[in-house]
Homo-oligomer: A and B are copies of this chain.
């Protein structure tokens, strides 16, 4: 039986401050919850509808924490989505480990990507293209924001993230540092190699001056029409695709 206090606690995890204090977060939606159960995150509370339980009997047996079968309306009341999504899980954050780009690996660095939907979508793109590590500048969206986790469609369980002072990290780099700009070199004419750091900038302002000064190779997605720019998640996907096409 789900107590009022537990319900209140889960709802309070909408706030970043509370998430940090309790080192806990929640994810919503059948797919995200199932991916969380299969991951090595420690689940403390698992709420699901009878329908989810019916379809996911074996998955549920793998899940740690307290289990609660609830109605769709309880899930809708707690979560971020108007429609029910079958399940919701509360889990413990993992300790933030220091990550570095190894030779032969491309690491993604986000310079103040603030929109949670964009960040979640970028995590999913990274996972699609086999990028395992993301640096987030200190002003980026919170990677435990429910909207980020939802948009990542489970990919947050497979991509390591670390909040860093990007300028400090980039200054220490010996691997190539790439950045996306509207006036860089046309990526269609390049044979990009999956090694180094790829920096993507803020939704409105692009890459900051301080970080720009540390970028060795300026990349540009060629335009063929009249749109002034592409959304940062879209640009990330296109550039990752161009990196990967020579290493298929």
Interface, chain A (partner B; CB < 8 A): 117, 121, 124-132, 153-155, 158, 186, 188-189, 221-231, 233-234, 237-238, 241-242, 244-245, 248
Which residues in B have their C-beta under 8 angstroms from that of A233? Answer: 231, 234
6 residue pairs A–B, Cβ–Cβ below 8 Å? A126-B225, A127-B225, A128-B223, A128-B225, A130-B224, A188-B245
**Residue from the list B131, B186, B227, B234 in contact with A225, Cβ < 8 A:** B131
Given A188-B244, A245-B188, A248-B188, are A227 and B121 also a contact pair (CB < 8 Å)?
no
**Can you name 18 extra interface pairs (CB under 8 A) apart from A154-B228, A222-B248?**
A121-B231, A121-B234, A124-B227, A124-B230, A124-B231, A125-B227, A125-B230, A128-B227, A129-B225, A130-B225, A155-B226, A158-B225, A158-B226, A188-B248, A189-B248, A233-B234, A238-B238, A241-B242
Chain B residue at minimum C-beta to C-beta distance from A122: B234
Of all chain B residues, the one with the shortest Cβ separation from A194 is: B224
Q: In the assembly, how many copies of this chain are there?
A: 2
CB-CB under 8 A from A231, the residues of chain B are 121, 124, 233
Nearest-neighbour CB distance to chain B for A110, whole angstroms, equals 16
User: What 5 A-B pairs come out closest when comparing CB atoms?
Assistant: A130-B224, A130-B225, A127-B227, A128-B227, A188-B245
Cα distance A131–B189 in the bound complex, in angstroms: 21
Residues of B within 8 A of A127 (CB): 225-227
A48 to chain B, nearest CB (A): 20
